[in-house]
Each structure stands twice: as structure tokens, then as C-alpha cells.
Chain A
């Protein structure tokens, strides 16, 4: 059974940093691209970032480019999101999601975690 478990969320002040983690199990992690998708309270889905199976291809939404860094450790079956210079508008539930292919060129997100909540407030 595929499982994706996010952690690392919490309350953080504007301008500070936070690192999210996603622990994956139930599939061959290094065969698939992975993504972070967020959802602000009461709002729609927003893709944040994606990374190919071997970290060779990485993409970011314009809203986070230059502030967030995605990475993965295939030996640990883990996905990460380093979030710097956080803003109030980054407040959201952050989902980790598995792609159904190895590359970012074809992206259907077939499994999702339950999310970790990030609140940016002073």
C-alpha cells in the first residue's frame, strides 16, 4: 500500500524558514517523480514544486521560485521542501504527491499524503 506521510509543518513567523518532509513507502520511490501541492484555507489547489526521479529535473511555481527548494533522498525514500523567507500568503496545507511517471514532463499525481499545515503569522 502506497503511503505518503508529511511532517514539519507548524506556526512560523514571517521571514523565517521551515523544512517539510515526506516519508514514502509501498512503492519503489526512486522510480517516480514527486511533487508538493498546497491548499490555502478554503481555497483551491496550487502546485508548488516537482522533482524527477533522479533530481535531474526540478520545477517551481513562480510564487515560490527563489525562496523554496525541493530535494529528495532516494536512499531514505524521502522528499523535502525547504521554505525560506516565508510570507503570510504561504499559509496552507502542504501535500506531498507521487507522480505516475519518473519525469516531470508527464505529470499525473496518483497518490497524495494527508498534508501538513504551515501557518505563517507573527
Chain B
């Protein structure tokens, strides 16, 4: 099974800050990685697919990069509405989610 490890597990940042979350796969998954945003009490929302492609309608301040085992998700300028938990998900071998990163406003 492929394990996905996200860091940090929680993060506090100020509005306007650049925020970075990392996701490491236990084996090479090429670019078979997606990122989701989940706001409290809501269903997850797909933000980034295939490691770096922005889903339609998602603001351009969100971006993703990486391949192989190491991936990065970035918010270029944090907005109040970005408060959520973020998950990575691999699909190289079935599907596995990372444990999530809870993002809070400082």
C-alpha cells in the first residue's frame, strides 16, 4: 500500500502570507496526485489534479508542484476564506489520502 505523509499537520498563518504544505509518498507515484480543500461541515473540493493542474474555477493563488515522491501545495497569498483542512490524494495504486493539514488564521 502507498502511504501519504503530509506536513505540517496544522499551520497558523496571517492573511497575505505565502503558505506551503508538503506531501510525501512512500514510493514513486509519478504525478498521480491531487489536492483537496475541506471547510468545516462541508464536503471536500478538488483544487489541483495531476500534481499541478488547477481545477476549473479555482483561484490562481492555489498551485501545486512535484513528482515522484515529493509534492508541494502553495497558497500564494492567504485569504480568510482559505481556512480549511487540505488533503493530498494519490491514485497510482487505488487511492490513498494524506492525513490532512489544518490551516488557521493567525
User: B-contacting residues of A (Cβ < 8 Å)?
Assistant: 35, 37, 44-47, 50, 59, 61-62, 95, 100, 104-110, 112-115
Cβ contact within 8 Å between B91 and A45: no
Residues in chain A near residue B85, CB distance under 8 A:
44
Cβ contact within 8 Å between B95 and A50: yes
* Subset of 14 A-B contacts with CB under 8 Å: A37-B44, A45-B87, A45-B97, A47-B89, A47-B96, A50-B95, A100-B49, A107-B34, A107-B89, A107-B95, A108-B50, A108-B91, A109-B46, A114-B43
User: B69-106, CB under 8 A of A: which get 1 and which 0?
Assistant: 00000000000000001010101001111111000000
Cβ contact within 8 Å between A107 and B91: yes
Complex Cα gap A8–B91 (Å):
28
Q: If the complex has contacts A46-B97, A47-B96, A62-B1, are A113 and B46 also in contact, measured as CB distance less than 8 A?
A: no
Residues in chain B near residue A115, CB distance under 8 A:
43
Further 5 A-B residue pairs, CB within 8 A, beyond A45-B36, A95-B43, A114-B43: A45-B89, A50-B95, A95-B44, A107-B91, A109-B46
> How far is the CB of B101 from the nearest CB of chain A, in Å?
10
Residues in chain B near residue A95, CB distance under 8 A:
43-44
Q: Tell me which of A45, A61, A109, A112 contacts B94 (CB under 8 A).
A: A61
Residues in chain B near residue A109, CB distance under 8 A:
34, 36, 44, 46, 89
Q: Tell me which of A35, A61, A108 contacts B34 (CB under 8 A).
A: A108
Cβ contact within 8 Å between B94 and A59: yes
Cβ contact within 8 Å between A44 and B100: yes
Complex Cα gap A55–B1 (Å):
23
Write the chain A residue with the least CB distance to B48. A108
Complex Cα gap A107–B44 (Å):
15
Interchain residue pairs A-B with the least CB separation, the first 7:
A112-B43, A107-B91, A47-B95, A108-B49, A44-B100, A45-B97, A59-B94
